[in-house]
Structure 1
């Protein structure tokens, strides 16, 4: 059996050598190396492309971060401006309210003064009317007494003669 085993080894070695010779004659190793080189170049190109895409992504991310920071700064500026504007508007509103209140107080005071002046004039007018009525009554009373007074009648008669 050993003999058969040794013979089998020989044939396996011979077949292996023939196989390698066929590969060399058919230029398989060159094609294999070329194929491996092409594959390596393709892998290298893909890696380079991946590096380029990663760099673009990093640049885009940095750009977006910068834009976000700029937008946040702009938002803070807008908020600060709005707060300042709100304070200014509140101050303006207070000033306008105070001015309106002062004008209304002045108008009310003028109306009160006018009403007082009207009331005073009405009281004076009423007092004058009453005084005139009282004076008329007093005069009527005196005239009625004077008509009955004979001396007054005599004095009036004497006066009539002088004026004619």
Structure 2
């Protein structure tokens, strides 16, 4: 009996004990459980991947909608700014036109007042000069009557 024989006997006993203890079934069951666990994990990963793709598609759609809305808002803001600019320009032009018209009216009024003052002064000077001439050449009573008559005529023409 050599060592090879005893090695064979030990191997047969070992295999017999393994079979008796049902180690192959335990190993098979353990491997089956592990395969089931891996299959479940793969199914879960596939489900999570599909959810992630759906979320990605939804977020991309929302992003496109937000970009479109932002573009619409920007366009509306540009239109509103242009309208406000045109309105401000129109109001400014109207204000300038009104101020120019008012200034022209004030100038015309001042011119009219100046002309009236000059006329009034000329009338007074003429009346005073006429009164002196008449006083020098006529007697005082006739001169006074003539002066009053002339003043009345000048005043009636001014009005």
Query: Under a length normalisation based on structure 2, what TM-score does the superposition of the two structures give?
Result: 0.83
Instruction: Look up the match of 1:151.
Output: none
Q: Which runs of 5+ in 2 are unaligned?
A: 143-159
List runs of 5+ in structure 1 lacking aligned partners. Answer: 148-164
Question: Take 2:140 and 2:107, find their aligned partners in 1: how far apart are those partners?
Answer: 48
Deviation at 1:47, TM superposition (A): 1.0
Per-residue deviation, residues 70-115 of structure 1 (Å, max 9, x unmatched): 1111111111111111111111111101110111111011101111
* Pairing partner for 1:73 from 48, 68, 90: 68
State which of 128, 131, 139 in structure 1 corresponds to 2:134: 139
Q: Distance in 1 between matches of 2:102 and 2:121?
A: 28
Matched residues in 1 for 2:5 and 2:66: separation?
81
The alpha carbon displacement at 1:135 in A equals 1.1
- CA 1:145–1:108 in structure 2 vs 1: closer, same or farther (change >3 Å)? closer
Structure ID, larger Rg = 1
1:23: how far off? Answer: 1.1
Q: What RMSD, in angstroms, separates the aligned Cα atoms of the two structures?
A: 1.9
Which of 45, 55, 58 pairs up with 1:60? Answer: 55
Aligned length: 142
Q: Which of the residues 5, 11, 14 maps onto 2:9? A: 14
Q: Give the Cα–Cα distance (whole angstroms) in 2 for the partners of residues 116 and 31 of structure 1.
A: 123
Shift of 1:50: 1.1
Q: Is the counterpart of residue 98 in structure 1 residue 74 in structure 2?
A: no
Aligned to 1:35: 30
Residue 139 of structure 1: CA displacement?
A: 1.3
When the two structures are superposed, what TM-score results if normalisation uses the length of structure 1?
A: 0.80
Looking at structure 2, the residues matched to 67 and 77 of structure 1 have their Cα atoms a distance apart, in angstroms, of: 15
1:24 matched to 2:19: yes
